[in-house]
Structures are given as C-alpha cells and as structure tokens.
C-alpha cells in the first residue's frame, strides 16, 4: 500500500478556548479519525516558532496514511464528516483550517529517530523551474540544512491532493526536518546566519514569496493504530 502524510494546520475558535480545543482534539477528534480506514498514526503539535512567511496557525497534526486508493480514502473521510462519525466542534476555527496530503519524494536523508521537534517548510518552485527546484532541494538544500547542529534528518514530499486550503499559496512541496534542540530560537538564528553567509545556498528555482516555514513541538501522545 502507498504511504502518505497529511498535515493539518488549525486554530482554536478563540484564544480563551484553547484548553477546550486541545481537549476535543486529543480526546475525541483524533481517536475518531484513527478508526477510519487508512489512518495509521497521528501526532499533534503546537507552532513553537514561526520562521518564514505568514504562519497563521497555532497548532498542527501530522497523520501517517496508508491506502491503495487515496481518492477513495479521502471520500470516506468526507462521508464520515457528513454522517456524524466525525464530529466537528465549534472550538475549531474552520475558516483557517488547512489540510494537505503529500506523498514521499525519495528516501529520508540524514539520521532517523531524532525527532524531538519538527521544522516544517511548505514551498513551491518558481514558474517553469520545477526540475531545477527538486535538484537543488535534494542535492544541495537538505544536505546544507541537516548539517546544522540540532537538525538530524529530513523527508521531502510532493502534494497529492488539497483537502482544505483556504489560506494557501498553492504550495506543492513539504519538507519535514527532524529536530532535537534545547533552544529553537538559537537554532533559527543559526539557520538564518547560514543563509546570509551562503553556507546554506538558496536558489532562484524556489518561489521565496510563497515559502512558509515553522518549528513544531509535540503536544500529547503519538496515536498509533
């Protein structure tokens, strides 16, 4: 069966409902989803530190999906919302809810098993430069980033389908970096310094105006089916 990653980015309906939001998400919503075919694992996160672009969300979930027919699986997910198997709470801000499904691009680079936090980057190529973008990202950018102390590995993904994207910029690629750091602000400062010094080389094949990147810290346990 093919494997995919779904990233869901969200906010509580209001700041004062954050506790309700977290309680509903962890106690009801994810357990409901994990009963559906294809959902294999889930981990909730909070956005610990924005890094690049507009980051209008406070929380995220990374789901591991496994299925033969992604379209059929997502159709079942829609049906489950419609027939009441999945209940959406008013503690969720549905206007900013973003859900994107990605498929893996090549092997994981770097060291596996060092994911205390996650550095997530949503991006897209400059117009007409997709081949150059992927060659630079895999051959230069990921190796540059994972040699920064505190970043141990990365997986890259291509968009398979947009489930919900009310605030998106048609970002068609996702990179998830495995982070293990005591000080995310210092790590972010080092990443920026490496770009300025060209130790980390950027490319005109990436649409930098559409780049959205942020650090995530886990919230609650890993859900495994």
- The string of pLDDT tens digits covering residues 46-81 is 999 999 999 999 999 999 999 999 999 999 999 999
Q: What is the DSSP letter of 96?
A: S
Q: What is the CA radius of gyration of the chain?
A: 17
Give this prediction's pTM: 0.95
Confidence band for 167, pLDDT divided at 50, 70 and 90: confident
Pick from 222, 62, 224, 54: nearest CA to 155: 62
* Mean pLDDT taken over the chain: 95
Q: For residue 2, what pLDDT is reported?
A: 84
Residue 118 has pLDDT above 90, yes or no: yes
Q: For residue 148, what pLDDT is reported?
A: 97
**DSSP string spanning 107-122?**
EEEE-SS--SEEEEEE
Residue 169 has pLDDT above 80, yes or no: no
CATH class (in words) of the domain with range 3-224: alpha beta
Cβ atoms 184, 215 nearer than 8 A:
yes
Q: For residue 27, what pLDDT is reported?
A: 95
Measured CA angle at 216 (ends 187, 40), to 5 deg? 135
Number of Cβ atoms within 10 Å of the Cβ of 130: 15
Confidence band for 125, pLDDT divided at 50, 70 and 90: very high
Average pLDDT rounded to a whole number, residues 86-99 = 94
Q: 3-state DSSP call for residue 39?
A: strand
N residues, the chain: 225
């Amino acid at each position: 069966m093919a494997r995919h990653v779904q990233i869901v980015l969200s906010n509580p309906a209001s700041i004062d409902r954050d506790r309700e939001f977290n309680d509903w998400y962890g106690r009801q919503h994810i357990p409901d989803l994990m009963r559906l075919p294809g959902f294999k694992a889930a981990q909730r996160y909070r956005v610990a530190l924005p890094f690049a672009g507009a980051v209008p969300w406070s929380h995220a979930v990374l789901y591991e999906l496994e299925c033969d027919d992604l379209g059929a699986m997502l159709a079942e997910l829609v049906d489950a919302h419609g027939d009441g198997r999945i209940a959406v709470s008013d503690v969720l801000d549905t206007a900013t809810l973003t859900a994107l499904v990605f498929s893996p691009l090549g092997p994981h680079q770097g060291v596996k098993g060092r994911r205390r936090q996650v550095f997530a980057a949503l991006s897209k190529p400059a117009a007409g430069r997709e081949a150059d973008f992927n060659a630079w990202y895999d051959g230069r950018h990921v190796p540059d980033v994972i040699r920064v102390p505190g970043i141990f590995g990365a997986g890259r993904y291509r968009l398979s389908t947009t489930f919900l994207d009310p605030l998106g910029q048609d970002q068609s690629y996702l990179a998830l970096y495995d982070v293990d750091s005591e000080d995310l602000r210092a790590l972010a400062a080092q990443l920026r310094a490496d770009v300025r010094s060209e130790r980390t080389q950027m490319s005109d094949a990436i649409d930098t105006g559409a780049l959205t990147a942020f650090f995530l810290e886990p919230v609650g346990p890993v859900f495994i089916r």
